Amino acid sequence: PKPDPIIVASGVRRTFGGIHAVDVEHLEVQRGAITALIGPNGAGKTTLFNLLTGFDRADVGEWSFEGQPVHGRTAARMAAAGMVRTFQLTKALSRMTVIDNMRLGATAQRGENVLASLLPTLWRGQEADITARAYELLERFKLDTKADDFAGSLSGGQRKLLEMARALMTRPTMVMLDEPMAGVNPALTQSLLGHIQGLRDEGMTVLFVEHDMHMVRHISDWVVVMAEGRIVAEGPPETIMQDQAVVDAYLGAH
Ligand code: ATP
């Protein structure tokens, strides 16, 4: 397919003390593709993810989303523009029901700062639509029978499904997934991978952060390898896997 980047970034840097957590010269993320951001611990994956989603500020750098310059925008504004991210199920979210977690997703990424008791004021008369959308997604992710359970009672894999479902409440064009397979048993891993492919099949752009190349190679269209803040390799998964120097230096033996 012809290149059609939804994100174009250049000169993005973020330092913590003396550490260059992210030092990315150039990055493009293709529209409608699944892109995996991988690399060893401390490579800067999470930091780059936080910058692009508006959860952290770059020291310098520029990037666009859908052709609009968006560096410096907050997460809420990114969500309004169509880019959402997943949130891990925190303590506060665990104490809410599954259906309320979903409703919270409709408030566009203000997430855990919002108390459940404030939800009715945030919905502004859209309760019926939001609730219908929430149940529709719970059904798709096979969580509908859990709607009234506390999110904290879900298994590791079900939590990951809930995180993904919650992110879809605002009908995004791009979904950013934070370690979508972490701590999930093999049976549910297949189901999660299938759901990620499903997002792409619907036309969404997906970018996710993972440690394990082997887990993601079958669903990724493009792999970006980070180490020490930089992009050290990128390409289709087969190409990356065949690059023994990259595999040995950055991806480890499995
Ligand atoms: P992991 O796979 O372990 O999650 P990562 O690739 O996501 O690693 P980052 O978490 O982005 O890597 O970290 C990149 C570097 O920046 C590391 O050296 C880390 O210690 C440092 N770092 C990240 N966040 C902060 C912070 N808030 N304060 C200080 N240093 C930080």
* 226 CA closest ligand 1 atom index: 6
Q: How many other β-carbons are positioned within 10 Å of the β-carbon of residue 150?
A: 15
* Residue whose CB lies within 8 A of the most ligand 1 atoms, among 12, 16, 231, for a mutation test: 16
Give pTM, 2 decimals. Answer: 0.89
Query: Alpha-carbon distance 20 to 11, whole Å?
Result: 13
- pLDDT grade for 113, boundaries at 50, 70 and 90: very low
Q: Pick from 22, 41, 47, 213 the residue to mutate for probing ligand 1's pocket: most ligand atoms within 8 Å of its CB.
A: 47
Q: Which of 214, 180, 178 has the alpha carbon at shortest distance from 197?
A: 180
Which residue's CA is the nearest one to ligand 1's atom 30?
Answer: 16
CA dihedral sign, ordered 242, 245, 251, 254: positive
16 CA distance to ligand 1 middle (Å): 9
Instruction: Tell me how far the alpha carbon of residue 47 lies from the centroid of ligand 1, in angstroms.
Output: 6
Q: Which residues does a 6 A CB cutoff place in the pocket of ligand 1? A: 16, 19, 21, 39, 41-47, 211
Considering only CA atoms, which residue is closest to atom 14 of ligand 1?
44
Nearest to 106 by CA among 81, 78, 80: 80
- Ligand 1, atom 24, residue with closest C-alpha: 47
d(CA 126, CA 132): 10
Structure tokens given for 56: 């952290």
CA 48–ligand 1 middle distance (angstroms) = 10
Strands 83-85 and 68-69: unpaired
Q: How confident is the prediction for the chain on average, in pLDDT?
A: 87
Name the DSSP class of 248: I
Q: Categorize the per-residue pLDDT at 239 as very low, low, confident or very high, splitting at 50, 70 and 90.
A: very high
Position 123 scores a pLDDT of 54
Ligand 1 atom 29: the closest Cα is on which residue? 16
Q: Strands (DSSP E) along the chain, which ranges?
A: 5-16, 19-30, 34-38, 60-65, 68-69, 83-85, 174-178, 205-209, 222-227, 230-235
Which of 101-105, 110-114, 199-203: highest mean pLDDT? 199-203
Q: Atom of ligand 1 at shortest distance to CA of 211?
A: 2
Q: Residue 89 Cα, ligand 1 centroid: separation in angstroms?
A: 20
**Per residue in 2-52, pLDDT tens?**
789 999 999 999 999 989 999 999 999 999 999 999 999 899 999 999 999
